[in-house]
Amino acid sequence: MIRLDGAVACVTGGARGIGRATAGALAARGAQVWIGDIDLAAAQETAAEIGAHAAHLDVTAPGSFAEFLIAAATSGPVDILVNNAGIMRLAPFLDLDLAGHHREMAINVGGVINGMSLALPGMVARGQGHIVNVASMAAKVTTPGAAVYCASKFAVGALSRAVRAELAGTGVTLTTVMPAAVHTELTSGVNLKLQPTLQPREVGEAIADTVRHRRSEVTIPRWLAPMGTVEQGIPETALRAVKRQFVGRDPGQYDQQQRRSYLDRIQR
Ligand SMILES: NC(=O)c1ccc[n+]([C@@H]2O[C@H](COP(=O)([O-])OP(=O)(O)OC[C@H]3O[C@@H](n4cnc5c(N)ncnc54)[C@H](O)[C@@H]3O)[C@@H](O)[C@H]2O)c1
C-alpha cells in the first residue's frame, strides 16, 4: 500500500494539461508533488498554484531526468512516477520532417524508458512504488495523420505490459492509462465532434485513483476498453472503410492554423 498522504510523487510534463490535472489531484490527496517540465516557467506557475515543487526536466535526456529525480528525493524516496510528458504532431507521415518524427518518439517513448530506468531500481530495492505510463487510445487504435504518435503510444503500451510482468512480486506496480481525446492544447484545432472527449480533471483523478487500485490498464472512458480487440479483429480494409465514415477519407480533421501556437511551443 502507498498512502498518498505524504507520498512523494513526480509528474513529467506537469506544467499544463493532463499532467497539471494529475499533479493537482495528487497534491489534493496529500502527496508531495514534483512537477518536471521542459517549460520551467509554466511548471513553476502551476506548482505555486497547486502547492507543488517544480524543476526543469527534458525527459529525452537521461542526465536531466536523473537530476529531476534527485531533486524530488529531497522530499523523501520517490513513491510514484507519472510518465506523462508527450507531444502529438498531425499530418500525413511523408509531410512531416524526419527529425521531428524521431523527436516525437524520443519524448513519447524515450521519456518513458528513461523514467522507468531511473526510478525503478530504487522502488524495487525498497519493495514499494508505483509507475503510471500515460499512453492513449492511440495505443489501441491507429489513425492516419497520426502515424508516429500512434506508433509511440503502441510502444508505450507494449513496453508497459512487458515491464509490468517483470515487476510481478517486487511490490512495485505499473499502470498504463489510455485516455480518449482530452481538451488540452495538444488537441487544439482537432475536430473532436465524433469522438468521446474528456476534461483533463477527469483523467487526473483517474490517474490518482490508480495508486489505490493498481490496475494494469485503465481506459478512460472505461467502455472503450474493447477497442483494441476491434482494431485487431476486423480485416484492415473493412476497418479503414468504417473509419472513413467517422474521420473522412484523409487525415484532415484538424486545422493546422488553429494548432499553430501548440506547434510553435513543441518545436521550441
Ligand atoms: N490531449 C489528449 O487528447 C490526450 C489523449 C490521450 C493521451 N494523451 C497523452 O497525455 C500526455 C499529456 O498530454 P496533454 O494533452 O496534457 O499535452 P499538453 O501539451 O497540454 O502538456 C504536455 C506537457 O509536456 C511538456 N513536455 C513536452 N515535451 C517535454 C519534454 N521533452 N520533457 C518534459 N516535458 C515536456 C510540455 O511542456 C507540456 O507542459 C501526453 O503523453 C499525451 O500523448 C493526451
How is 7-37 classified by DSSP, letter by letter? -EEEEETTTSHHHHHHHHHHHHTT-EEEEEE
Query: Alpha helices, DSSP H only, in 132-185?
Result: 147-167
Of the chain, the percentage scoring pLDDT greater than 70 comes to 97
Average confidence score pLDDT of the chain: 95
User: What number is the average pLDDT over the span 195-218?
Assistant: 97
Positions marked active-site: 149
Residue 230 C-alpha cell reads as 476491434
* pLDDT greater than 60 at residue 251: no
Question: d(Cα 49, Cα 107) in Å, to the nearest integer?
Answer: 26
Dihedral angle of Cα 41, 28, 59, 127, to the nearest 10 degrees: 150
Distance 37 CA to ligand 1 centre (A): 10
Burial class (CB in 10 A: 0-12, 13-18, 19+), 168: exposed
Amino acid in position 256:
Q
User: What number is the average pLDDT over the span 200-210?
Assistant: 98
Indicate if ligand 1 lies below 6 Å from the C-beta of 87.
Answer: yes
Identify the pLDDT of residue 66.
98
C-beta separation of 14 from 40 below 8 A: no
- Grid cell 500525413 in the structure block, residue: 92
Identify the pLDDT of residue 245.
75
**Which residue, by CA, sits nearest to atom 40 of ligand 1?**
86
Tell me if the bond preceding 221 is cis, omega within 30° of 0.
Answer: yes
* pLDDT greater than 90 at residue 195: no
* pLDDT greater than 90 at residue 75: yes
* pLDDT greater than 80 at residue 249: no
Confidence (pTM): 0.97
User: What number is the average pLDDT over the span 241-252?
Assistant: 68
Identify the pLDDT of residue 86.
98
Question: d(Cα 42, Cα 56) in Å, to the nearest integer?
Answer: 10
Query: Alpha helices, DSSP H only, in the chain?
Result: 17-28, 40-50, 62-72, 98-105, 111-126, 147-167, 200-213, 227-233, 236-247, 260-267
Highest mean pLDDT among 1-5, 93-97, 231-235: 93-97
User: What number is the average pLDDT over the span 237-263?
Assistant: 81
Pocket test for ligand 1, best of 186, 191, 261, 267 (most atoms within 8 A of CB): 186
Distance 81 CA to ligand 1 centre (A): 15
Distance 15 CA to ligand 1 centre (A): 9
Indicate the range of 79-88, 162-171, 178-187, 246-255 predicted with least confidence.
246-255
* pLDDT greater than 70 at residue 143: yes
Domains delineated in the chain: 8-267 (3.40.50.720)
User: What number is the average pLDDT over the span 191-216?
Assistant: 94
Q: How confident is the model at residue 243 (pLDDT cuts 50, 70, 90)?
A: confident
User: What number is the average pLDDT over the span 187-215?
Assistant: 94
Indicate the range of 53-57, 92-96, 228-232 predicted with least confidence.
228-232
Question: d(Cα 27, Cα 7) in Å, to the nearest integer?
Answer: 10
H-helix or E-strand containing 82?
strand 78-83
Q: How confident is the model at residue 252 (pLDDT cuts 50, 70, 90)?
A: low
- Kindly report the CA angle at 191 between 264 and 91, in degrees rounded to 5? 50
Question: d(Cα 214, Cα 128) in Å, to the nearest integer?
Answer: 12
Q: How confident is the model at residue 192 (pLDDT cuts 50, 70, 90)?
A: confident
Residue 200 C-alpha cell reads as 483533463
Q: How confident is the model at residue 268 (pLDDT cuts 50, 70, 90)?
A: confident
